[in-house]
Amino acid sequence: LAAAVDQILEGNRRAIARLISQLENNQPAALDILAELYPHTGQAYLVGITGAPGTGKSTLVNELAKLYRGQHQTVAILSIDPTSPFTGGAILGDRIRLKDLAGDSGIFIRSMATRGSLGGLARAAADAITVFDAASFEIIIIETVGVGQAEVEIARLAHSVIVVEVPGLGDEVQAIKAGLLEIADVFVVNKADRDGVDRTVAALKMMLDLTRDSPAKPMLHHGVVMDISPPPSSPAAEIRWQPPICKTIATTGAGVDTVIEALTQHRAYQQSSGLLGQREQTRLLFEIEQILKERLLAGLMSKLSQTQFNDILTQVTERQLDPYTAVETLLRLGENQKS
Amino acid sequence: LAAAVDQILEGNRRAIARLISQLENNQPAALDILAELYPHTGQAYLVGITGAPGTGKSTLVNELAKLYRGQHQTVAILSIDPTSPFTGGAILGDRIRLKDLAGDSGIFIRSMATRGSLGGLARAAADAITVFDAASFEIIIIETVGVGQAEVEIARLAHSVIVVEVPGLGDEVQAIKAGLLEIADVFVVNKADRDGVDRTVAALKMMLDLTRDSPAKPMLHHGVVMDISPPPSSPAAEIRWQPPICKTIATTGAGVDTVIEALTQHRAYQQSSGLLGQREQTRLLFEIEQILKERLLAGLMSKLSQTQFNDILTQVTERQLDPYTAVETLLRLGENQKS
Q: What is the pLDDT of residue B116?
A: 56
Chain B residues whose CB is inside 8 A of the A326 CB are 288
Q: Do B54 and A172 touch (CB under 8 A)?
A: yes
Q: For the residues A281-300, what does the mean pLDDT come to?
A: 92
Max mean pLDDT range (A7-11, A117-121, B22-26): A7-11
Q: Which residues on B lie below 8 Å from A40 (Cβ)? A: 319
Lowest-confidence segment of A151-165, A322-336, B82-96, B99-113 by average pLDDT: B82-96
pLDDT tens per residue, range B302-338: 999 999 999 999 999 999 999 999 999 999 999 887 6
A301-328 burial, b if ≥16 CB within 10 A, otherwise e? Answer: beebeeeebeebbeebbeeebbbbbbbe
Write down the pLDDT at residue A217.
44
Q: What is the per-residue pLDDT across B109-120, written as a single tens digit (0 to 9) for each?
A: 888 876 556 567
Least Cα separation, residue B181 to chain A (angstroms): 9
| pLDDT score of A6 | 97
pLDDT score of A231: 47
What pLDDT does B79 receive? 87
Farthest-apart Cα atoms in chain B, separation: 69
| B51 vs B94, higher pLDDT | B51
Average pLDDT, chain A: 82
Interatomic CA distance for residues B64 and B253, integer angstroms? 9
What pLDDT score was predicted for residue A168?
Answer: 73
- What is the per-residue pLDDT for A119? 65
Candidate ranges A146-150, A203-207, B257-261, B301-305; pick with highest mean pLDDT: B257-261
Contacts of A289 in chain B (CB under 8 A): 297
Q: pLDDT tens digits for A80-137? A: 865 544 333 444 444 455 555 667 889 998 888 765 565 677 888 999 999 999 999 9
Which has more confidence, A156 or B158? B158
pLDDT value of residue A265: 97
The number of angstroms, rounded, from the C-alpha of A326 to the middle of its chain's C-alpha atoms is 33
Higher pLDDT, B92 or A244: A244
A140 Cα to chain B: minimum distance (Å): 18
Question: What per-residue confidence (pLDDT) applies to A325?
Answer: 95
For residue A116, how far is the Cα from the chain centroid? 17
Lowest pLDDT segment from A117-121, A198-202, B149-153, B192-196: A117-121
pLDDT confidence bin for A26, thresholds 50/70/90: confident
Rounded Cα gap, residues B219 and B286, in angstroms: 13
Contact list, A216 vs chain B (CB under 8 Å): none
Q: What does the pLDDT read at residue A116?
A: 56
Contact A301 B222 (CB under 8 A): no
The answer to whether A35 contacts B325, with C-beta atoms less than 8 Å apart, is yes
**Residue whose C-alpha is closest to residue B161's, from B90, B230, B262:** B262
pLDDT at B228: 42
Average pLDDT over residues B5-21: 95
Q: CA of B199, closest CA in chain A: separation in Å?
A: 19
The closest alpha carbon to A76, from A19, A33, A131, A7, belongs to: A131
**Residue, of B184 and B177, whose pLDDT is higher:** B184
Strand (E) positions, chain B? 45-51, 75-81, 107-113, 139-144, 160-165, 186-189, 245-247
Share of chain A above pLDDT 70, in %: 78
**Cα–Cα distances in Å, from B335 out to A41, B160, B302, B323?**
30, 43, 12, 18
Calculate the average pLDDT of chain B.
Answer: 82
Inter-chain residue contact A324 with B87, CB threshold 8 Å? no
Q: Is the pLDDT of residue A175 over 90?
A: no
Q: How far is A70 from chain B (nearest CA, A)?
A: 27
C-beta separation of B145 from B89 below 8 A: yes
The closest of A209, A165, A220 to A190, measured between CA atoms, is A165
Question: Could A53 and B172 be called an inter-chain contact, meaning their C-beta atoms sit closer than 8 Å?
Answer: yes
Distance from CA of B23 to the nearest CA of A (A): 12
pLDDT for the residue B229: 42
CB contact under 8 A, B150 and A148: yes
Give the end-to-end CA distance of chain A in Å, rounded to a whole number. Answer: 37
Selected for mutation to probe chain A from B49, B149, B312 (highest A CB count within 10 Å) is B149
Give the angle B221-A95-A27 at the CA atoms, nearest 5°. Answer: 40
Question: What's the rounded Cα separation, in Å, for the pair A222 and A219?
Answer: 10
How confident is the model over B17-43, as a mean pLDDT? 93
Phi/psi at A140 (5° precision): -115, 115
**SS3 letters for chain A?**
CHHHHHHHHCCCHHHHHHHHHHHHCCCHHHHHHHHHHHHHCCCCEEEEEEECCCCCHHHHHHHHHHHHHHCCCCEEEEEEECCCCCCCHHHHHHHHHHHHHCCCCCEEEEEEECCCCHHHHHHHHHHHHHHHHHCCCCEEEEEECCECHHHHHHHCCCCEEEEEECCCCCHHHHHHHHHHHCCCCEEEECCCCCCCHHHHHHHHHHHHHHHHCCCCCCCCCCCHHHCCCCCCCCHHHHCCCCCCEEECECCCCECHHHHHHHHHHHHHHHHHHCHHHHHHHHHHHHHHHHHHHHHHHHHHHHHCCHHHHHHHHHHHHCCCCCHHHHHHHHHHHHHHHHC
pLDDT at B218 over 50: no
Q: How many CB pairs under 8 A join A and B?
A: 327
Q: What is the pLDDT of residues A179-217, one digit of tens each?
A: 677 788 999 999 999 988 988 888 888 777 776 655 444
Strand order in A139-144's β-sheet? A107-113, A75-81, A139-144, A45-51, A160-165, A186-189, A245-247
pLDDT score of B231 more than 80: no
DSSP B227: -
- Cα separation, B153 vs B279, in Å, equals 13
Of residues B187 and B182, the one with the higher pLDDT is: B187
Instruction: Indicate the residue of A83, A284, A288 with minimum beta-carbon distance to B180.
Output: A83
Q: Which of B24, B50, B81, B83 is the mutation pick for testing A, counting most A CBs within 10 A?
A: B83
B297, A224: Cβ pair inside 8 Å?
yes
Look at strands B75-81 and B160-165 and give their pairing. unpaired
Q: How confident is the model at residue B168 (pLDDT cuts 50, 70, 90)?
A: confident
- DSSP-derived pairing of the beta strands B139-144 and A107-113: unpaired
- Give dist(CA A131, CA A94) in Å, integer: 19
Find the closest chain A residue to B283 by CA distance.
A317
Asked if the model's pLDDT at residue A174 lies above 80, the reply is: no
CB contact (8 A) between residue A313 and residue B288: yes
Chain A residues touching B119 at Cβ < 8 A: 118-119, 223, 293
User: Residue range B136-158: average pLDDT?
Assistant: 83
Q: pLDDT band at residue B24, thresholds of 50, 70 and 90?
A: confident
Q: Lowest-confidence range among A268-277, B85-94, B267-276, B291-300?
A: B85-94
